[in-house]
Amino acid sequence: MAAQAPKDWKTYDQFAYGIDTNRLPLTEALTGSNHTVVFEDGRSLSLSFTGGQVRWSDGKGEGEDRVQVVEVAPSTYFIEISPASRPRETETLVLDTKSGRALSIYAIVREKEEAGDEPQVAQIFRVGTLAGVEATGPVPAESRDLIGLRAHCTYSPNHVYEHTYLSSKRYAWQCLVGVQRGHGDVDLTTTYKFAENQYIFTFREFKIPVASTFYYNFDDMRSTGKFIGITGKGDIQNSPAGAFIRKVSMTYYLPGEEPI
Protein backbone atom coordinates (compact mmCIF):
# COMPACT_ATOMS: atom_id res chain seq x y z
CA MET A 1 0.00 0.00 0.00
CA ALA A 2 1.02 3.66 -0.38
CA ALA A 3 3.06 5.19 2.43
CA GLN A 4 1.06 6.37 5.45
CA ALA A 5 1.32 10.04 6.40
CA PRO A 6 2.71 10.92 9.86
CA LYS A 7 0.17 12.07 12.45
CA ASP A 8 1.13 15.74 12.08
CA TRP A 9 1.11 15.65 8.28
CA LYS A 10 -1.01 18.47 6.82
CA THR A 11 -3.96 17.68 4.58
CA TYR A 12 -4.16 19.06 1.06
CA ASP A 13 -6.57 21.88 1.94
CA GLN A 14 -4.46 22.93 4.95
CA PHE A 15 -1.33 23.63 2.90
CA ALA A 16 -3.09 24.81 -0.30
CA TYR A 17 -4.82 27.86 1.22
CA GLY A 18 -3.19 30.97 -0.24
CA ILE A 19 -0.80 29.06 -2.49
CA ASP A 20 -2.09 31.01 -5.51
CA THR A 21 -0.95 34.40 -4.10
CA ASN A 22 1.94 34.73 -6.57
CA ARG A 23 0.10 33.19 -9.51
CA LEU A 24 -0.12 35.11 -12.77
CA PRO A 25 -3.56 36.67 -13.43
CA LEU A 26 -6.27 35.11 -15.55
CA THR A 27 -6.66 36.33 -19.12
CA GLU A 28 -9.64 36.77 -21.43
CA ALA A 29 -7.41 36.46 -24.51
CA LEU A 30 -9.12 33.25 -25.71
CA THR A 31 -12.69 34.44 -25.08
CA GLY A 32 -14.72 34.15 -28.27
CA SER A 33 -12.22 31.83 -29.96
CA ASN A 34 -12.58 28.24 -31.14
CA HIS A 35 -9.79 25.68 -31.31
CA THR A 36 -9.39 21.98 -32.04
CA VAL A 37 -6.42 20.03 -30.69
CA VAL A 38 -5.54 16.74 -32.37
CA PHE A 39 -3.48 14.38 -30.20
CA GLU A 40 -1.00 11.73 -31.26
CA ASP A 41 -3.20 8.96 -29.83
CA GLY A 42 -6.07 9.98 -32.14
CA ARG A 43 -8.13 11.98 -29.65
CA SER A 44 -9.55 15.25 -30.99
CA LEU A 45 -10.57 17.96 -28.51
CA SER A 46 -12.73 20.87 -29.67
CA LEU A 47 -12.87 23.99 -27.50
CA SER A 48 -15.09 27.07 -27.65
CA PHE A 49 -14.30 29.76 -25.08
CA THR A 50 -16.77 32.20 -23.54
CA GLY A 51 -16.35 34.30 -20.40
CA GLY A 52 -15.05 31.90 -17.74
CA GLN A 53 -16.58 28.91 -19.53
CA VAL A 54 -15.51 26.52 -22.26
CA ARG A 55 -17.65 24.25 -24.39
CA TRP A 56 -15.68 21.11 -25.14
CA SER A 57 -16.14 17.88 -27.07
CA ASP A 58 -13.73 15.00 -27.68
CA GLY A 59 -15.92 12.39 -29.39
CA LYS A 60 -16.46 10.45 -26.16
CA GLY A 61 -17.99 13.25 -24.13
CA GLU A 62 -18.94 16.89 -24.19
CA GLY A 63 -19.90 19.66 -21.82
CA GLU A 64 -19.78 23.31 -20.95
CA ASP A 65 -17.68 23.85 -17.85
CA ARG A 66 -15.75 26.49 -15.98
CA VAL A 67 -12.26 27.20 -17.24
CA GLN A 68 -9.24 29.16 -16.10
CA VAL A 69 -6.84 30.57 -18.70
CA VAL A 70 -3.44 32.07 -17.88
CA GLU A 71 -0.98 33.37 -20.48
CA VAL A 72 2.27 31.82 -19.22
CA ALA A 73 4.48 32.88 -22.14
CA PRO A 74 3.89 34.81 -25.38
CA SER A 75 0.98 33.11 -27.24
CA THR A 76 1.16 30.21 -24.75
CA TYR A 77 -1.77 29.44 -22.46
CA PHE A 78 -2.25 27.30 -19.35
CA ILE A 79 -5.87 26.13 -19.62
CA GLU A 80 -7.55 24.42 -16.67
CA ILE A 81 -10.84 22.61 -17.33
CA SER A 82 -12.92 21.14 -14.50
CA PRO A 83 -15.73 18.98 -15.96
CA ALA A 84 -18.79 19.12 -13.68
CA SER A 85 -19.86 15.68 -14.93
CA ARG A 86 -16.50 14.19 -13.89
CA PRO A 87 -15.72 15.68 -10.44
CA ARG A 88 -12.76 13.33 -9.90
CA GLU A 89 -11.06 14.42 -13.13
CA THR A 90 -9.50 17.60 -14.51
CA GLU A 91 -7.70 18.45 -17.72
CA THR A 92 -4.80 20.87 -17.98
CA LEU A 93 -4.01 21.95 -21.52
CA VAL A 94 -0.89 23.89 -22.46
CA LEU A 95 -1.45 25.47 -25.85
CA ASP A 96 0.75 27.69 -28.00
CA THR A 97 -1.53 29.30 -30.56
CA LYS A 98 1.44 30.49 -32.64
CA SER A 99 3.55 27.31 -32.86
CA GLY A 100 0.50 25.04 -32.81
CA ARG A 101 2.02 22.81 -30.12
CA ALA A 102 -0.07 21.39 -27.28
CA LEU A 103 0.23 19.12 -24.27
CA SER A 104 -2.65 17.73 -22.22
CA ILE A 105 -2.25 16.51 -18.64
CA TYR A 106 -5.39 14.65 -17.56
CA ALA A 107 -5.58 14.03 -13.79
CA ILE A 108 -7.77 11.32 -12.24
CA VAL A 109 -8.38 10.88 -8.50
CA ARG A 110 -8.66 7.11 -8.19
CA GLU A 111 -10.04 4.98 -5.39
CA LYS A 112 -7.39 3.70 -2.97
CA GLU A 113 -8.00 0.11 -4.05
CA GLU A 114 -7.49 0.99 -7.71
CA ALA A 115 -4.24 2.86 -7.03
CA GLY A 116 -2.64 0.09 -4.97
CA ASP A 117 0.99 1.01 -4.25
CA GLU A 118 0.94 3.91 -6.69
CA PRO A 119 -0.04 7.51 -5.86
CA GLN A 120 -3.81 7.81 -5.68
CA VAL A 121 -3.96 10.65 -8.22
CA ALA A 122 -2.87 9.52 -11.69
CA GLN A 123 -1.89 11.66 -14.68
CA ILE A 124 -2.24 10.92 -18.40
CA PHE A 125 -0.07 12.85 -20.90
CA ARG A 126 -1.03 13.52 -24.50
CA VAL A 127 1.02 15.48 -27.05
CA GLY A 128 -0.93 17.26 -29.76
CA THR A 129 -1.11 20.00 -32.38
CA LEU A 130 -3.58 22.76 -33.10
CA ALA A 131 -5.74 22.04 -36.15
CA GLY A 132 -5.39 24.64 -38.89
CA VAL A 133 -1.97 25.79 -37.70
CA GLU A 134 1.25 24.55 -39.28
CA ALA A 135 3.13 23.24 -36.26
CA THR A 136 6.62 24.69 -35.84
CA GLY A 137 9.42 24.16 -33.38
CA PRO A 138 10.21 21.04 -31.36
CA VAL A 139 7.52 18.55 -30.38
CA PRO A 140 6.86 18.60 -26.60
CA ALA A 141 8.72 15.64 -25.14
CA GLU A 142 9.80 14.21 -21.80
CA SER A 143 12.94 15.94 -20.61
CA ARG A 144 15.88 15.31 -18.30
CA ASP A 145 16.92 18.98 -18.27
CA LEU A 146 15.89 19.65 -14.65
CA ILE A 147 17.93 16.78 -13.18
CA GLY A 148 20.41 18.15 -10.64
CA LEU A 149 18.67 21.50 -10.20
CA ARG A 150 17.82 22.75 -6.72
CA ALA A 151 15.32 25.62 -6.69
CA HIS A 152 13.23 27.62 -4.24
CA CYS A 153 9.61 28.30 -5.12
CA THR A 154 7.83 31.16 -3.34
CA TYR A 155 4.07 30.82 -3.74
CA SER A 156 3.27 33.41 -1.05
CA PRO A 157 4.95 34.88 2.05
CA ASN A 158 3.62 31.78 3.83
CA HIS A 159 4.54 29.18 1.18
CA VAL A 160 8.22 28.65 0.35
CA TYR A 161 9.36 25.22 -0.84
CA GLU A 162 12.68 23.78 -1.91
CA HIS A 163 12.69 21.39 -4.88
CA THR A 164 15.56 19.08 -5.78
CA TYR A 165 15.09 17.32 -9.10
CA LEU A 166 16.70 13.92 -8.51
CA SER A 167 16.06 11.93 -11.69
CA SER A 168 13.69 11.60 -14.62
CA LYS A 169 11.17 9.93 -12.31
CA ARG A 170 11.55 11.48 -8.84
CA TYR A 171 12.05 14.78 -7.07
CA ALA A 172 12.49 15.77 -3.43
CA TRP A 173 10.73 18.63 -1.70
CA GLN A 174 10.81 20.27 1.69
CA CYS A 175 8.85 23.17 3.14
CA LEU A 176 11.01 26.11 4.24
CA VAL A 177 8.18 28.49 5.20
CA GLY A 178 4.57 27.58 5.93
CA VAL A 179 2.32 25.12 7.73
CA GLN A 180 4.35 22.20 6.33
CA ARG A 181 7.67 23.60 7.60
CA GLY A 182 10.00 20.71 8.38
CA HIS A 183 8.04 18.29 6.23
CA GLY A 184 9.40 16.82 3.01
CA ASP A 185 9.30 13.75 0.84
CA VAL A 186 10.37 12.17 -2.45
CA ASP A 187 7.57 11.77 -4.99
CA LEU A 188 7.01 10.64 -8.57
CA THR A 189 7.45 13.22 -11.28
CA THR A 190 7.21 13.68 -15.04
CA THR A 191 8.74 16.66 -16.86
CA TYR A 192 8.12 17.78 -20.44
CA LYS A 193 10.07 20.38 -22.36
CA PHE A 194 7.57 22.57 -24.20
CA ALA A 195 9.86 25.17 -25.77
CA GLU A 196 13.23 26.75 -25.09
CA ASN A 197 13.42 27.54 -21.36
CA GLN A 198 9.79 26.38 -20.96
CA TYR A 199 8.85 23.20 -19.11
CA ILE A 200 5.80 21.40 -17.73
CA PHE A 201 6.63 19.84 -14.37
CA THR A 202 4.22 17.40 -12.72
CA PHE A 203 4.28 15.31 -9.56
CA ARG A 204 2.18 12.71 -7.78
CA GLU A 205 2.44 12.39 -4.00
CA PHE A 206 2.47 9.16 -2.01
CA LYS A 207 1.55 10.25 1.51
CA ILE A 208 -1.63 12.14 0.63
CA PRO A 209 -3.89 11.92 -2.45
CA VAL A 210 -2.70 14.95 -4.42
CA ALA A 211 -0.99 15.65 -7.73
CA SER A 212 0.11 18.81 -9.45
CA THR A 213 0.90 20.32 -12.83
CA PHE A 214 3.08 23.40 -13.27
CA TYR A 215 4.31 25.41 -16.24
CA TYR A 216 7.86 26.69 -15.63
CA ASN A 217 8.85 29.80 -17.55
CA PHE A 218 12.57 30.15 -16.87
CA ASP A 219 12.74 33.33 -18.96
CA ASP A 220 10.52 35.06 -16.41
CA MET A 221 11.35 32.74 -13.46
CA ARG A 222 7.65 32.18 -12.81
CA SER A 223 5.55 29.05 -12.41
CA THR A 224 1.82 28.66 -13.01
CA GLY A 225 0.00 25.55 -11.91
CA LYS A 226 -2.65 23.63 -10.04
CA PHE A 227 -3.10 20.97 -7.37
CA ILE A 228 -5.86 18.37 -7.41
CA GLY A 229 -6.56 16.02 -4.55
CA ILE A 230 -8.73 15.02 -1.62
CA THR A 231 -9.20 17.38 1.33
CA GLY A 232 -9.21 16.40 4.98
CA LYS A 233 -13.01 16.20 4.79
CA GLY A 234 -12.88 13.84 1.82
CA ASP A 235 -13.89 16.36 -0.85
CA ILE A 236 -12.27 16.65 -4.28
CA GLN A 237 -10.54 20.03 -4.64
CA ASN A 238 -8.80 21.58 -7.63
CA SER A 239 -6.69 24.56 -6.51
CA PRO A 240 -4.75 27.13 -8.57
CA ALA A 241 -1.14 27.86 -7.62
CA GLY A 242 1.84 29.86 -8.80
CA ALA A 243 5.28 30.91 -7.65
CA PHE A 244 8.41 32.93 -8.21
CA ILE A 245 11.32 30.56 -8.91
CA ARG A 246 14.89 31.03 -7.74
CA LYS A 247 17.59 28.67 -8.96
CA VAL A 248 19.85 27.83 -6.01
CA SER A 249 22.38 25.31 -7.30
CA MET A 250 23.06 22.65 -9.93
CA THR A 251 24.61 19.21 -9.53
CA TYR A 252 26.58 17.81 -12.45
CA TYR A 253 27.21 14.08 -12.90
CA LEU A 254 30.17 12.20 -14.33
CA PRO A 255 29.54 10.26 -17.55
CA GLY A 256 28.06 6.88 -16.74
CA GLU A 257 26.92 8.01 -13.30
CA GLU A 258 23.88 10.04 -14.31
CA PRO A 259 20.52 9.30 -12.60
CA ILE A 260 17.93 7.38 -14.57
Model confidence pLDDT, tens digit, residues 180-236? 999 999 999 999 999 999 999 999 999 999 999 999 999 999 999 999 999 989 999
How many Cβ atoms from other residues are within 10 Å of residue 82's Cβ?
Answer: 18
DSSP 77-137: EEEEE--TT-TTEEEEEEEETTT-EEEEEEEEE--HHHHTTS-SEEEEEEEEEETTS---S
Question: Has this prediction a pTM greater than 0.75?
Answer: yes
Q: Is the pLDDT of residue 177 over 50?
A: yes
Question: Would residue 86 count as lying in a domain?
Answer: yes
Given this model, what pLDDT does residue 51 score? Answer: 83
Cα(232)–Cα(101) distance, rounded to whole angstroms? 37
**Residue 50: inside a domain, yes or no?**
yes
Query: Which distant-in-sequence residues (6+ apart) come within 8 Å of 141 by Cβ?
Result: 127, 192, 193
pLDDT tens by residue, 25-71: 999 999 999 999 999 999 999 999 998 999 999 988 899 999 999 99
Q: Are 217 and 73 in contact (CB under 8 A)?
A: yes
182, part of any domain: yes
Structural domain that includes position 194: 12-250
Count of Cβ atoms closer than 10 Å to residue 226 Cβ? 26
Does 241 reside within a domain?
A: yes
Residue 56 to residue 259: CA distance in whole angstroms? 40
Q: Are 127 and 106 in contact (CB under 8 A)?
A: no
What is the average pLDDT across 117-139? Answer: 96
Taking residues 229-249, what's their average pLDDT? 95
Per the prediction, the chain carries an average pLDDT of 94
Mean pLDDT, range 1-15, rounded to an integer? 68
Nearest CA to 72 out of 26, 126, 36 is that of 26
Beta-bridge partner residues of 244? 154, 222
Q: What are phi and psi of 114, to 5 degrees?
A: -70, -35
Asked if residue 113 is part of any domain, the answer here is: yes
- Tell me the torsion sign for CA atoms 46, 50, 53, 55: negative
259 in a domain, yes or no? no
Q: Which residues of 148-177 are buried (b: 16+ CB within 10 A; e: fewer)?
A: bbebbbbbbeebbbbbbbbebeebebebbe
> Does residue 4 surpass a pLDDT of 70?
no
How do residues 70-97 score in pLDDT, each as one tens digit? 999 999 999 999 999 899 999 999 999 9
pLDDT band of 1, cuts 50, 70, 90 = very low
Total number of domains constituting the chain: 1
pLDDT, position 7: 65
Name the region of 6 (left: φ>0; alpha: ψ -120 to 50; beta: rest).
Answer: beta
| CB atoms closer than 10 angstroms to residue 31 | 14
Phi, psi dihedral angles at 133 (to 5 degrees)? -120, 130
239 within domain boundaries: yes
Return the pLDDT at 190.
Answer: 98
pLDDT band at 8 (very low <50, low <70, confident <90, very high): confident
Whether 5 has a pLDDT exceeding 80, the answer reads no
255 occurs within a structural domain: no
